[in-house]
Amino acid sequence: MIDGHCHLLPPHLRVPGSAAWRDPWFSACHGGERPRFASGEDVVKALDQAGLERAVVFGWPFADPGLLREANDYTASEVSRYGRRLIGFATVNPSSATSPAELQRCQGMGLVGVGELNCDAQGFALTWEGGLRSLLKRCEEMNWPVLLHASEPVGHAYSGKGTATPGRLWRLLEPLLQAAPELRLCLAHLGGGLPFYAHMPEVKELCQRLWFDTAAIPFLYTPGAVRVVRELLGPDRVCFGSDFPLLAQGRYRAHLEAMTEPASQWLEPATKSWLGIG
């Protein structure tokens, strides 16, 4: 099985007081006593422990293109170190003029997708226009999968929650799926609950063209949540993602066991079809 959602951070950016901590979203999310950071080796060890084969790895959704570049360099170096075990994504800021060049540079370094993008962290408009539109159109042309952060409009507050809620996503996704029909877009964290509206036929139709990952759901939902999404959308729409190192893969056991069939039978094909691998 593949873990589709793991964050890496270069060692020099993990030190409190480093440039990473000047990014307001990063420092808000890592303000606890013992913030968790991962190297490629940490991810591979965690995969071994959980009995998983491969992981999608990427840096942090920094706003600053310089920090993004450093994180992308590190992702690429860890991907080449661990070969097949790690699948590397580039993180870019859609509102930055340097994104197209960075995307091309990352492709040259062996990265194969984009994510995790985060409109609150990076300050881009969550609408089908400007930088986000060009970036996503470019990803469609490159046949690159994209991972976008999403969050719940209700429920408890927590650092990192943000405002990429189903209502805002809907306004982005309707024109997006018209204009970029081949784009393979996964909404993280069960799409902030967007699939729960799939009793509405038009929402169901839209959701069936997207993917949703399970990242952080043990913090958010009771174990039946994934089963409900699968029942509403059919198979192959939910990808396994852990949000490691925030949560280890083993923390998802209760959620995966709440399914009626083994998780590998339905998560694996979904993750592979999102990534575009056989």
- Residues of this chain that interact with Zn ion (CB under 5 A) are 149, 188
Residue pair 7/59 in contact by the 8 Å Cβ criterion: yes
Task: State which residue, 85 or 149, has the beta carbon closest to Zn ion.
Answer: 149
Buried b vs exposed e over 240-276: b needs ≥16 C-beta within 10 Å?
Answer: bbbbbbbbebebbeebbeebeeebeebbbebbbbbbe
Q: Which SS3 state, helix, strand or coil, does residue 182 take?
A: coil
Residue pair 106/139 in contact by the 8 Å Cβ criterion: no
Least distance to Zn ion, CB of residue 153, Å: 15
Give the residue nearest to Zn ion (CB).
Answer: 149
Task: State which residue, 43 or 188, has the beta carbon closest to Zn ion.
Answer: 188
CA gap 51, 276 in Å, rounded: 22
Least distance to Zn ion, CB of residue 188, Å: 4
Task: State which residue, 47 or 188, has the beta carbon closest to Zn ion.
Answer: 188
Residue pair 52/3 in contact by the 8 Å Cβ criterion: yes
Q: How many helices (H) and strands (E) does the chain have?
A: 14, 8
Least distance to Zn ion, CB of residue 80, Å: 25
For the chain, the C-alpha Rg in angstroms (whole number) is 17
Q: Which amino acid is at 93?
A: N
Least distance to Zn ion, CB of residue 265, Å: 26
Least distance to Zn ion, CB of residue 246, Å: 9
DSSP state of 4: E
Least distance to Zn ion, CB of residue 95, Å: 18
Task: State which residue, 169 or 261, has the beta carbon closest to Zn ion.
Answer: 169
Task: State which residue, 7 or 230, has the beta carbon closest to Zn ion.
Answer: 7
Task: State which residue, 6 or 207, has the beta carbon closest to Zn ion.
Answer: 6
